[in-house]
Structure 1
Amino acid sequence: MRLKLIVLILFTLYQCGSGVDKSTFKTCSQSSFCRRTRKDLPGSSKFAVLPETLKTSDNFVELDLINKANDHLFILKLEALEDNKFRVQIDEKNPLKPRHRVTDVLQDSVKSGNINVDTQDGPEIVFSWGENKAVLTNEPFRIDFYQKDVLSVSVNAKRLMRFEHIRRKSDGEPTEDPEEWEEMFGEFLDSKPNGPEAIALDFSFPQADVLFGIPQHAETFVLKSTEGDDPYRLYNLDVAYYELESKMSLYGAVPVIYGHGAERSAGVFWHNAAETWVDIWDSNKKGVSSVLDLLTEPRASEPPAARFISESGIVDAFILLGPTPLDAFKQYTDLTGSANLPQLFTLAYHQCRWNYDNSSDVMDVAANYDNYDIPLDTMWLDIEYTDEKKYFTWDLQNFPDPLAMIKNLTDSNRHLTIIIDPHYKRDDSYFFHRECEKMGYYTKNVTNKDYEGSCWPGPASYPDFFNPTVRSYYAQQFPVDKFKTTTKDVMIWNDMNEPSVFNGPEKTMPKDNIHYGGWEHRDVHNMFGHMQVMGTFQGMIERDPNQRPFILTRSHFAGSQKYAIVWMGDNTAAWGHLKNSIKMCLSEAVAGFSFCGSDVGGFFDNPEPELVERWYQTGTYTPFFRAHANQDTKRREPWLFPEKTRLVIRDAVRKRYSYLPMWYTMFYEHEKYGLPVMRPLLAHYPKDKESYRIDTQFMLHDLLLICPVMDEGATKIEVYFPSKDGQKDGDVWFDTDNFQKYDKVGYETIQVDYKKTPAYQRGGTIIPKKENIRRTSTLMKDDPYTLVVCLDKNGSSKGTLYIDDEKSYEYRKGKYIYEQFEFKDNALKNSFATTPDYDTPSTLERVIIAGLEKTPKSATIEYDGKSQELKVVSHEQAVAIENPGVNIAKEFVIKLNY
C-alpha cells in the first residue's frame, strides 16, 4: 500500500509539476568520482610510457604505461583505422578482475589500417598510417595526432589523465574521498563493491575555435566552458520539465565531441557507457598550452579542450581526424552506423497525445483530419491503451476490438504506433511477468534477487536486456501470433527506458544492480535503452522480415540510431523550448541521430495559438514531425484552435507533404553516406566563423537554409547568409515561397507575417517535390513529381531523387531508382548510376527554374527518340515548364528555347 501511494504521488508530480526538482539529481560535487577527479590540476598526472615494451603488428601497437605515483601498470594499445581514424585503448595490465568494455555499439565493418613505426628512439615514438601520424611522447605521456602534418588532436596535453585501478578495501591504500567505497545520495546507498575505479582523459583541439556534440543537453549547439560550473553530464535520466541552458543530464548520452576551426575539424568518440562528466575549456583563456610547442605558429590563446570523466570501464577513445566537418561526421557513423532508410510514411505527420483513451477517440481524431483537409499518416497511443499498464496487452473495455480499429486506420492508409516501456508489472496473472520471474530474466539487485522498482504499473521489474536470451524472449512477443491484437503494420514507441524508476536514486536504477555477465548497472547504465531498442528491432524484424521497423526511443546511446529515432522528451509549451528544439536536434544530428524532433506544441502546459503556429511551421522542416501533449493539458488538435491557427497548421503540414520526395531522398543518402540530414551551417561553410555559433538556423542537406520564426510577436527576423571563403564569397539563395533571389553574405532583415517561415533553396541545387497533396503520404506514392531548379552563379545546378516501394527491404536487392539531375547550358537532363530496377507510373509534371537571366520562349523535351515542344509560363520570380509528361524513370533532356 505504501509503495502504491508513493507511485501515486510521483505520478501526480510528473503531470502537474512546474519545473525540474534539481534536488532529485546529482551535481558533480555530490558525486564522489566527479568530485575527486575534478580536483586534479593540469600537469598533475604521473603517467609515462615504457618504450622498451613496444610490441608491433600490422594494425596496432602495444606498450606498457606506468602510473609513477603508485607504480601500477597499464597496457596502451594504439590501432590505426581506415579513413583517418585512430583508436586508443588503456586498460590495467593485471587487474584484480576484468574491467567493463562496451559491446553492441560498433559496426562490424570497422576496418583496421596498416600502422608503421617510423621512429622509436629517444623521448618519442612516431607512428604513421596513410596521410596521418601520431607522435607518442613517453614522459609525460601524451599523443599528438596529425592529419597531413597539421596537429589536429592531442591526448593528455593538459596531463589530466586519471585511471583508478581496481583494489581491495583491505589493501589499505590511501583514500582521496570519504565516499570512495560507499556513497549516499539522499536516502539511497550505493554499495560500490569494487570501490573507486574512475577514469579520465583530456583531449585538445589545436585547430578549433569551437567544440560541439555530446548530446543530450538543453543547451546551445556550441559547448560552453565549464570552468566555475558543473561539467556536462552524460547519464540517462527521466528529467520532466527540464531546464533550458543547463548542463544537466537528459534522456540520451552520446559521448562524441567535435572541434572545428576554419582550417580543420576533428572529433573524439569516448566509447564508454558508464556515467560520464565532460569538462570543457574554450579558447578564450590567454596563455600557452603545453600542446602548442609543436605548432609553428602559436595561437594567442589556449586551444579548446575537453576532459571525459567516467565512473568505470576502460579508456577506449576513437580519434576522428576529419579534416572537414562532414568528414568527421562520416568517420563517426562509420564506427557506430547510420539510420536505416525509414518507411516514407514515418517522414510525414504524426498525431499523439497522452492519451487517446478509447477506439472512438482514435477514429474521431483521424476522421477530423480528413474533415479539415489536414494530412495525417500516424496515430499514436500512450500507456492507457494497455490493460493496467501491462505491455503486450490491451484494455478491452475501452478498446474492445483493437484489430478492427487498426483495420479502420490501415484501410484509410494510416498507421498506428503504440508504446512499449521497459518496466513490467509484478502481477502473477500477467504472462510476461510470470515468465521473466520463472526464467530469471529480470535485472538483479545487489543481493542477486529480482530488482523491484516502481513506475506506471506500480511495483515493477525490469528485464535484463543485456542478456541475449532475454532480448530474444522480449523480441518473441512482437509477432502477431503472440501479440494477437496487433498487425504487422503497427509501429513501436519505447519510452521511460533510461530506465525511469520512480522510487530509485535520481529516478533510475541503483548502480549496484547486476546485469548479464556480472556487470554492475554503473558500467552499462547509458546503454539500457539501447539494449531495449535492439530487442524491439529484432522483434519487429521477426514479425515481418521485409518491412522496415519504425521505433521511437527516448533513451539512447551511441549506435542507437541503427535501430530507432529520437525526440527531445518532455519539453514545455514555451518559446524557449521551441528554440531549444533546433539546438538539441543539431547536436543529435552530428552524433548520428538524423531522425530527430520535438513534441510540437510542447508536452507540458498549454500553448497559445501563436506558439502553436510557429511550432508547426518549424516542425515542417525537422525530420520527425509529431504533435504530442501531456494528458493534463487541454486538448489541442488543430481544429480546436481559432480558424486562423487551424489554417496555419494546415498549410504547414501540407508543405511538409510537398517536400516528402526530398526528405526520402535525403534519408536514403544518409544511409548510403552516413552524413547528417539536418546540419549546422558550419558543415557547409567551415571558414565562416560567424556561422559557427548560429543555432537558430540550420541546413537540410546542402539544399535548404531554414530560419524558423521562434520569437513571440515577431514581424521581422534576421537571416544570416553564410560565406564560402570566410569573407564575401557566398551562395545564391532563393526564397522557397516566391523565388526572390538573395546574393549576399551576412545578415538580412526579412519581414514575416503569421504565414511566413524563411526558407531558402541554395542556388546550384535541384529539389524533387510532389504538389498534389493528399490526406496521407501513401496515397501520394504514384503521383507526379515537380523539380525545383535553382541556379548558381554559373547558371547550373544538380540534384538527386530516390524512389522505391517506400516500405520493404527490396531496395537492398537493387529494387529502386536513384536518379541524378543536372541543369547546364540551358538544358536539364537526368542520368542513372545503375539501370533502374523498379517500376513506377510517376511522371514529371512540372519543372520550375529560378535564376535564369531571361525567360525562354518555350522548351523542348527529348526522350525515347521523340521530341515535343513544351509551354513555359512565369511562376512567381521563376519560370515553369508545364506537363513534360515523361515517366520519371526514363532518361530525358529538356532544352530551353530562346
Structure 2
Amino acid sequence: MAEVSPALLSVVPDDEGKEKFKSSSHVAFYRRQMEGPHLQHRVLLDTVVLTEKGARFELLAPGTQTRLLLSVSAYKNDTVRLLIDELQPVKSRYRVPDVITREPACEQLRVETRTMDSVTLSWSSARHRARVWRFPLRVELLCEEEVMATFNSKGKLWFETLQDGPSATSDGSELPEDPTSLLWKETFRHFVDIKANGPSSIGADVCLHGFSHVYGLPEHADSLQLRDTRDGEPYRLYNLDVFAYDLYSRRGLYGSVPLLVAHKPDRTLGVFWLNASETFVNIRYSPTDHQDDQTPPVKRRRMQPETDVHWLSESGVMDCVVLLGPGPRQLFSQYAQLTGYQALPPLFALGYHQCRWNYRDEADVKAVDAGFDRHNIPYDVIWLDIEHTDGKRYFTWDPALFPDPVGLQRHLETKNRKLVVISDPHIKADPDWSLFCEARDGGHFVKDREGRLYRGSCWPGECCYVDFSSPDTRAWYSSCFGLDRYKGSTPSLHVWNDMNEPSVFDGPEQTMPKDAVHYGGWEHRELHNLYGFYQHMATLEGLITRSGGSERPFILSRSFFAGSQRLGAVWTGDNVASWEYLKISIPMLLSLSVAGVAFCGADVGGFIQDPDPELLVRWYQAAALQPFFRGHSANVTKRREPWLFGVTVTAAIRTAIQQRYCLLPYWYTLFHQAHTAGLPPLRPLWVEFSRDPSTFAVDHQYMIGGALLACPVTEAALREAQVYLPGCGELWYDVHSAKAYEGGATLSLPLTLDTVPVFQRGGSVVCRSTGSGSCTAELRQLPLSVTVALNSQGAADGELYLDDGHSFSYRDRKAFCLRSFSLMSGRLLCRPAGEDGAFDCDTVVHSVTVVGLKNKPSTVTVHVSGAKETRAAFEYTESCCRLTVSGLNLRVATDWDIQID
C-alpha cells in the first residue's frame, strides 16, 4: 500500500495526485529520441563474423567515429535474438542478469546470399531467415519468404554512448559549465538526478507485418489490446507505488514485463525487450483512419495491416528477442524457455486468502478464523500487514498484540491453515536494532551517489533499503527467514513482499533516486525494474532453505519483472472499491497472463473505500474464477469479512468460494500445465480461438484453461448478460443447467445475484471435487466428479494432475499422477497421460456426468483393469441431454473404462 491519508481514501486522486509522477514530457531521454534527429546507421557488411552463437556485424553512424556491434542469434526453438552494444565502451554497459534462466541451444547460421546491399542468414531447414540490410540498417525476419518483422524499419535506432564522468570545475561545481552539462543533470520537481556516465539511452522500432492486434506490456490499468499511442501518452514501464491508480492509463504501475505479443489468424509473434531501466513503448497501427495518415483511401484499403512498435529505454544494451510462434502455445513455451516457467504453487495457495490492514491482535485473528468455520465458508490463509511487527521492524512481532506468534500459527495449523506476514524491503534505520546493524556492517544497503548509505522515508520513518541486486546480500536476506533467526516463525509461515518498487515516500516519483548506487557500482537507473524481482528471489531462496529444500513456499510480490512467474504470485495493487475497478481487473489479469505472470489476482472488494453488497458479491464471484483469490482492505475501511453483510450476501459469497474449492482439481491441473508448458490458466479468448477475429479485442470474458469460459458480471443491477460463445461449429454447455448452445454467436443470458455465466466447451473433460471442505487439506480427501462435455462428433478429452500438494517430490522423485480422460464412440477411458509418476494416489471418482448425449442409453458398464465388468446405476435427463453415472468408486490412478450403450 502507498502512503495515504484518510482524506485521500474518500476519493480517488485526480490531477493533484498525478503531480508526483512524470509524464513522458518530463523525461529528457524520451524527448531527445522523439525529437531526433535519428542517425542512419550503416552496416559494415564485410565485417560479418560467424560464430557458434550467431553472426556479428559492426555498425557505423555517419558523421561519427562511434562503432556499435550487432549480434544476431537464432535459437532452436524458433526465436531470434538481436543485441547491440558499443564496440569499445568507456565502461561496460548494464546487461540484465538472472532473468533469462538459460539460453536455448543456438542454431548454426550460414550466409545464404550476399549482395552489395544485404546479407541473408539462414539456419536449420532454412524455413526462417534473417536479412541484414547495409544502409540504412534494417534486419528483416522471414518465414517461408514472408517478412514477419523488421527491426529498425522506420530508422529510429538510437544509441547514446557512455562518456567518462565530468571533472569538477575550478569553482567546485559537480558538472562542467558548458551546454552539454545539461545532459548530465536532470531535475524533476526539487529532485536532481546526476548521470555518472552521461546520457546513455537506447531506442529502436520494430515493424510487425500483417498484425493489427498487440497485447502484453503489463502492468497498466488498461484494455487488453494495446492502444495506438498517437493520441496520448506512450506505455511506460517503470515500477511505481501508485495509490488508487487511474483507469485506462498508460502510466507505469507496480511491475513491468517488456513483452509484447502480436496476433493474427495464422500467426502469433512476440517481441521481448530485455531492459530493466525506465522504458517507454509507442504503438502505431496502420493502415489507419487517423487524420495525420496521408495515404489515399483507395490505396489504404489495399495495404496489409502492420503495427510499428517503438521501444525507448534510458540505459543498458539493446537486447531484443523475437518469438516467432507460430501459434499462442508455441509462443508461451518459447517465452517460458527464456525466462522460466510458472512456479507450481502449493495447493493451499490456490484456495481463498483473507487479509486486512490490519488484524488487530492474536484474538482478532482467531475470531476471524472461527468465523469462517461458523459460517461454513472454506479458506486456507489469513494474513497480517505491517502492524503485526514491533515498530515496523520486519522479522519481529509486536510483543503486546502478538505475544505468542508460534502458538497462533500452531492454532491455525491444527486446522491445516497458514499464516502470511508482510516483509518490505526498507529497514528501519535504528542503530539499536541488531538486524539493521548487521545489514549496515555487512554492506547490504543501497548507497547514494556519494557513497553514503542511501536513506529514505517509508512506514517505519527513516529507512535504509536492502540491495537485493547483490548475490551476497540476497544470501544474507534469505538467511533471515531461518527458524533460528526469525523468532516466532514456523514452517507454516509464508511471506508477502510489498512496497518493493521500491516505494520511498520522500523520493522522486515516490521511489528511489536513479543515481543511487548498487552492488558492482551500477546506478539504480540501470536496474530499477528488477528491484522487486530480486527481493522476491531472495525471499523464495530463504523459504526453500528454511525447509531444507523440501517444501514449496508461497510468496506474493507487488513489484515484478519478466521471470517473476518462477518465483510466486503477484497482484494488481491498491485498487478501489468501485465497479470500474472490478471491470478493469479482468484485462489487467489477462495482460499479466499473456506476459507469462500466470499466478495473479486483484484485491477482492477493492483495497480502499467500502463496496456496496452487490459489488462485493460480484467481486467474489469474479475472483473465484481467477488464479490468485484474496480479499484485502485498508485499515480505514469498514470490516469486510464475508458474513458481515446479511444472510443473502453471506450465502452468495459462500457459494462463490465453495465453487472455487470444488474446481481446485481443475485449477491445479492448469497450473501443472503452466509449470511444464508455459500455458497460462487464464487465457484471452483468442488464445483458444486463434482464427476467430471476433475474439481478438474481447477482454470482459476469458477462458479458464481450454475447457471453461467465464463472463463475470461487472456492472451494477445488471439483469441480462451478453456472452460471446466463440467458434463456429463449437458446442457450449451452461455449467449449471447443462443447456447446450452453438458457438459463433452472442448469447443473452438472464441474471440474478446468484448467476455467474460459466460455460464448458464441447469436447472437454473437467474434474471437480464433490465438496469444498473447510480448506484444501480436507478437499484432498473428497472424491471427484468428472464432467464430460461432448462436441459435435460426440467426443471429449481432458487431463487431471495430482501430487502431494506441498513438496518438491513431484520434481525430485517424479511423485505425481497425470491422467487422461477421453470419450469416443460412447467409451470413456481413464489412462496415463504420457509420463505418469510414482505417486501413491488414493483419489477416487465418485460420479461421471456426460452432457450433450442425445439419446438415453440402455446400459452403462464399468470395466476396471484386472476386474470383471459391472453395470452402473445412471440417470438420464432428457430435457438437457445429461447422463449422470453415480455410485462409482474408481481410483484415478487405475486404468478403467465406462461403456455407454
**Does the alignment reach a TM-score above 0.5?**
yes
1:112 corresponds to which of 88, 106, 130: 106
Match of 1:691 in 2: 695
* 2:405 is the counterpart of 1:406: no
Match of 2:531 in 1: 528
1:103 corresponds to which of 75, 90, 97: 97
2:342 corresponds to which of 339, 343, 353: 339
What is the CA deviation profile of residues 332-358 of structure 1, one whole-angstrom value per residue up to 9, with x for unaligned ones?
A: 111101111111111111100111010
Alpha-carbon distance in 2 for matches of 1:553, 1:672: 22
SS at match of 2:42: strand
Match of 1:140 in 2: 136
Match of 1:547 in 2: 551
Counting only pairs closer than 5 Å after superposition, residues 59-78 of structure 1 correspond to structure 2 as 59-78=53-72
Counting only pairs closer than 5 Å after superposition, residues 428-447 of structure 1 correspond to structure 2 as 428-447=431-450
* 2:361 is the counterpart of 1:362: no
Is this contact kept in 1: 2:2–2:242, CA < 8 A?
no
Which amino acid is 1:871 matched to?
Answer: A
What is the CA deviation profile of residues 666-711 of structure 1, one whole-angstrom value per residue up to 9, with x for unaligned ones?
A: 1011111111111111111122112111000111111111111111
Counting only pairs closer than 5 Å after superposition, residues 663-702 of structure 1 correspond to structure 2 as 663-702=667-706
Match of 1:871 in 2: 873
Is this contact kept in 1: 2:420–2:493, CA < 8 A?
yes
* 2:705 is the counterpart of 1:707: no
Is this contact kept in 1: 2:498–2:558, CA < 8 A?
yes
* 2:159 is the counterpart of 1:163: yes
Is this contact kept in 1: 2:395–2:487, CA < 8 A?
no
Is this contact kept in 1: 2:211–2:305, CA < 8 A?
no
Alpha-carbon distance in 2 for matches of 1:383, 1:783: 37
Alpha-carbon distance in 1 for matches of 2:404, 2:432: 22
1:129 CA displacement: 2.3
Alpha-carbon distance in 2 for matches of 1:332, 1:73: 31
1:121 CA displacement: 2.8
Q: Which moved more, 1:440-449 or 1:149-158?
A: 149-158
Which amino acid is 2:354 matched to?
Answer: Q
Is this contact kept in 2: 1:721–1:730, CA < 8 A?
no
Counting only pairs closer than 5 Å after superposition, residues 711-790 of structure 1 correspond to structure 2 as 711-723=715-727, 729-790=728-789
Is this contact kept in 1: 2:355–2:633, CA < 8 A?
yes
Gaps of 5+ in 2: 168-174
Is this contact kept in 2: 1:207–1:264, CA < 8 A?
no
Question: CA 1:170/1:663 → structure 2, altered by over 3 Å: closer, same or farther?
Answer: closer
Alpha-carbon distance in 2 for matches of 1:532, 1:264: 36
RMSD: 2.2
Which amino acid is 1:228 matched to?
Answer: D
Q: Which moved more, 1:259-268 or 1:399-408?
A: 259-268
Q: TM-score w.r.t. structure 2 length? A: 0.95
Match of 1:212 in 2: 215
Which amino acid is 2:12 matched to?
Answer: S
Question: CA 1:69/1:676 → structure 2, altered by over 3 Å: closer, same or farther?
Answer: farther
SS at match of 1:218: coil
Alpha-carbon distance in 1 for matches of 2:317, 2:143: 26
Is this contact kept in 2: 1:15–1:630, CA < 8 A?
no
* 2:118 is the counterpart of 1:124: yes
Alpha-carbon distance in 2 for matches of 1:511, 1:244: 27
Is this contact kept in 1: 2:210–2:304, CA < 8 A?
no
What is the CA deviation profile of residues 559-608 of structure 1, one whole-angstrom value per residue up to 9, with x for unaligned ones?
A: 01111211000000011111111100100001111111100000010000
Match of 1:562 in 2: 566
Alpha-carbon distance in 1 for matches of 2:602, 2:137: 44
Match of 1:657 in 2: 661
* 2:487 is the counterpart of 1:484: yes
1:106 CA displacement: 0.4
Gaps of 5+ in 1: 1-6, 724-728
Is this contact kept in 1: 2:345–2:568, CA < 8 A?
no
* 2:893 is the counterpart of 1:889: yes
Is this contact kept in 2: 1:857–1:872, CA < 8 A?
no
Alpha-carbon distance in 2 for matches of 1:238, 1:9: 9
1:746 CA displacement: 2.1
Alpha-carbon distance in 1 for matches of 2:284, 2:836: 52
Q: Which moved more, 1:459-468 or 1:877-886?
A: 877-886
Is this contact kept in 2: 1:338–1:670, CA < 8 A?
yes
Is this contact kept in 2: 1:198–1:312, CA < 8 A?
yes
2:469 corresponds to which of 449, 455, 466: 466
SS at match of 1:282: strand
SS at match of 1:473: helix
Is this contact kept in 1: 2:797–2:820, CA < 8 A?
yes
Which amino acid is 1:252 matched to?
Answer: G
Alpha-carbon distance in 1 for matches of 2:145, 2:627: 38
Counting only pairs closer than 5 Å after superposition, residues 377-456 of structure 1 correspond to structure 2 as 377-456=380-459
What is the CA deviation profile of residues 264-314 of structure 1, one whole-angstrom value per residue up to 9, with x for unaligned ones?
A: 211110010000011110234369x99x9xxx9995265111111000001
What is the CA deviation profile of residues 167-200 of structure 1, one whole-angstrom value per residue up to 9, with x for unaligned ones?
A: 2476999999884211110110001122111100
Match of 2:606 in 1: 602
1:501 CA displacement: 0.2
Alpha-carbon distance in 2 for matches of 1:722, 1:567: 29
* 2:233 is the counterpart of 1:239: no
Alpha-carbon distance in 1 for matches of 2:559, 2:414: 33
Alpha-carbon distance in 1 for matches of 2:347, 2:487: 26
What is the CA deviation profile of residues 499-550 of structure 1, one whole-angstrom value per residue up to 9, with x for unaligned ones?
A: 0000000000000000001100000000000111110011011101110011
* 2:615 is the counterpart of 1:611: yes
Question: CA 1:778/1:830 → structure 2, altered by over 3 Å: closer, same or farther?
Answer: same
Alpha-carbon distance in 2 for matches of 1:75, 1:582: 42
SS at match of 1:160: coil
* 2:30 is the counterpart of 1:34: yes
SS at match of 1:639: coil
SS at match of 1:657: helix
Q: Which moved more, 1:194-203 or 1:148-157?
A: 148-157
What is the CA deviation profile of residues 193-226 of structure 1, one whole-angstrom value per residue up to 9, with x for unaligned ones?
A: 2211110011111121211110000000000111
Match of 2:170 in 1: none
2:577 corresponds to which of 573, 579, 585: 573
Match of 2:594 in 1: 590
Q: Which moved more, 1:802-811 or 1:317-326?
A: 317-326
Match of 2:171 in 1: none
Q: Which moved more, 1:789-798 or 1:686-695?
A: 686-695
Alpha-carbon distance in 1 for matches of 2:143, 2:680: 23
Is this contact kept in 1: 2:165–2:196, CA < 8 A?
no
Match of 1:861 in 2: 862
Which amino acid is 2:284 matched to?
Answer: W
Question: CA 1:679/1:8 → structure 2, altered by over 3 Å: closer, same or farther?
Answer: closer
1:764 CA displacement: 0.5
Matched residue count: 880
Which amino acid is 2:136 matched to?
Answer: P
SS at match of 1:227: helix
SS at match of 2:544: helix
Question: CA 1:719/1:177 → structure 2, altered by over 3 Å: closer, same or farther?
Answer: farther
1:873 CA displacement: 0.8
Is this contact kept in 2: 1:10–1:502, CA < 8 A?
no
Q: TM-score w.r.t. structure 1 length? A: 0.95
Is this contact kept in 2: 1:445–1:513, CA < 8 A?
yes
* 2:647 is the counterpart of 1:636: no
Alpha-carbon distance in 1 for matches of 2:101, 2:166: 41
Is this contact kept in 1: 2:2–2:499, CA < 8 A?
no
Q: Which moved more, 1:107-116 or 1:458-467?
A: 107-116
Alpha-carbon distance in 1 for matches of 2:176, 2:516: 26
Is this contact kept in 2: 1:285–1:301, CA < 8 A?
no
Is this contact kept in 2: 1:215–1:588, CA < 8 A?
yes
Question: CA 1:743/1:535 → structure 2, altered by over 3 Å: closer, same or farther?
Answer: same
Q: Which moved more, 1:791-800 or 1:479-488?
A: 479-488
